[in-house]
Amino acid sequence: MTPEHDPSDPRRMDILAAVRAIPPGTVAGYGQVARRAGLPGRARWVARVLAEADDPELPWHRVLRSDGRIAFEPCSAGFLEQRRRLLAEGVAVSEDGRTARPRAPDLDAMLWGPASP
DNA sequence: CATATGACGTGGG
DNA sequence: CCCCACGCCATAT
């Protein structure tokens, strides 16, 4: 069996841990999460892990694209749900899924702030 | 084994 | 703003 099929794959656990570490009211990119989990370049895998994740407590909605937009297609079920959760946390999201911060200013390791710079 | 597809990312035109 | 190429990697066909 390939490790990737193992639900207890430590790398998956690392990804989930990185997602859980995102403070409420803030957001992070898929690539950021991947790097934080020690898996640089595996943003796609992060997305897949989130899609498969079953933990209702997982703050998956705090993970966005690197350009600060919601990854789901606008008006899709996932999009609406994610936007709703972000708004509930005080994160500003426009109707087309854009958050306040398009890109991190300098430190790629830092999380994007809630709102006003 | 060869392609295609994604909740991706970076870089360029 | 748009579009494209390429890199990336797990799944699906």
Is a pLDDT exceeding 60 seen at residue A114? no
* Closest protein CA to C1' of nucleotide B5, residue: A44
Give the model's pLDDT for residue A16: 95
| CA A78-A81-A86 angle, 5° bins | 120
> Residue A100's pLDDT band (boundaries 50, 70, 90)?
confident
Give the pTM: 0.86
With cut-offs at 50, 70 and 90, classify the pLDDT of residue A6: low
Per-residue pLDDT at A117 exceeds 60: no
| β strands within chain A, DSSP E | 28-29, 63-64
Give the closest nucleotide to A44 (alpha carbon vs C1'): B8
Residue among A20, A16, A27, A23 nearest A98 (CA): A27
Nucleotides of B under 7 A from a protein CB: 6-10
Cα separation, A71 vs A75, in Å, equals 12
pLDDT band per the 50, 70, 90 thresholds, residue A12? very high
